[in-house]
Structure 1
Amino acid sequence: MSLKHAILTLLETEESSGYDLLKQFQSRLGYFWNASHQQIYAQLKSMHSEQLIDFHVEAQANKPDKKVYTLTQAGRDALSEWVQQPLKLGKVNDALLVKLYAGHLADKDQLLEEMTNYRDNHQRMLNTFLAIEEEYKNSSAKEKKNLALPYLTLRRGIIGEQACLDWADEVIDFLHS
């Protein structure tokens, strides 16, 4: 997947400024796809050159004008084509797993601290996902229908975080023995 496809996905649901897209990455896609401010703006410029998106300028009081981006038909077509293509499975690069693999060389207390931090981070993420899930469950039937597929991505996140917590507990128990 590329940043281009992530942006097309966000713009498919609502027109947005570059700043709005950054906020959407942080609050929505950021749980499974990250992009910096600079990457987003560079990609928007490139996508505009490719005629995948267009923009109109909105004046703002006491602020610079902002560009609000929308998908063009070419952008919709590109997104549709990408969605229909099979994906290659992503590879995992996880420094903690490498460190644990070589853990016989580390101090046991240091590994315990590392695993406790790992567990705490995943517990915070799970709590965040569960709060988002509660919002979804409290939404109207129409909203639930419109958000059904994004909800399933949230469920994947919840299940993944629960698995990380289970694994962390297993490692922590082992290190305590």
Structure 2
Amino acid sequence: MSLRYAVLTLLDIEPGSGYDLKRRFERSVSHFWGASHQQMYRELHRLHAEGLLDCAEQAQEGRPDKKVYSLTEHGRAELRQWVLQPAQPQKMRDPFLIQLFAGHHLDNAQARQALERQLEHHRALLRDYREQNERVRGSDPALQQRYWLAHQTLLLGMDLEQTWIDWAEKLLRELDRRQ
């Protein structure tokens, strides 16, 4: 259900095509919500069919027409109503943590290798989030003010990745000590 509102929110910020929306999604909410290209397009079609989105076709030279989606007043009203509803906290779901929970099947070298792979992934995410943060900080101050709360989700993502990195580095040191 949240993909629906992620799409409405991103189109509330700025109209766009499915491609535009997917790129915007990857640069913003993907650090806490995932969706495939197909899921995004299915949701766009569903929202359009429900009257929550308008769709205008723009001619493109040498390519099929581009469909640009924007929120209708009905879509904005539903988004406003949804934002007022309490959200249920979600538990973390991380397959690596299940693997680590079964880590008694690994020797130290295997555990280290698995942990280092995850650590590099989280370091890459943190680098990406920091780059996004620099773009936000360099953007128009009026936009920064308007989307201040949205920016807080990126800052939380940065803090979570840093916490994960600190935990993994500490665990690697402990593996070395136990060897």
- Deviations, residues 78-127 of structure 1 (Å, cap 9, x unaligned): 11111110011112222221222221221221110111111111111111
Q: Which amino acid aligns with 2:20?
A: D
Q: Unpaired segments of 5 or more residues in structure 2? A: none
- Deviations, residues 114-144 of structure 1 (Å, cap 9, x unaligned): 1111111111111111122222233343232
Q: Which amino acid aligns with 1:155?
A: L
Aligned counterparts, 1:33-44, within 5 A: 33-44=33-44
Q: Secondary structure at the match of 1:16?
A: coil
Deviation of the 1:65 alpha carbon = 0.4
Q: Stretches of 4+ moved more than 6 A in 1?
A: none
Aligned counterparts, 1:91-130, within 5 A: 91-130=91-130
Q: Which amino acid aligns with 2:47?
A: M
Q: Determine the structure 2 residue equivalent to 1:152.
A: 152
* TM-score between both structures, scaled by the size of structure 1: 0.94
Matched residues in 1 for 2:22 and 2:163: separation? 29
State, as a whole percentage, how many aligned pairs show the same letter: 38
- Deviations, residues 57-82 of structure 1 (Å, cap 9, x unaligned): 11011110011111111111111111
Q: CA-atom RMSD, angstroms? A: 1.3
Q: Determine the structure 1 residue equivalent to 2:175.
A: 175
Confirm or deny that 1:27 pairs with 2:27.
yes
Confirm or deny that 1:82 pairs with 2:82.
yes
Q: Unpaired segments of 5 or more residues in structure 1? A: none
Deviation of the 1:156 alpha carbon = 0.4
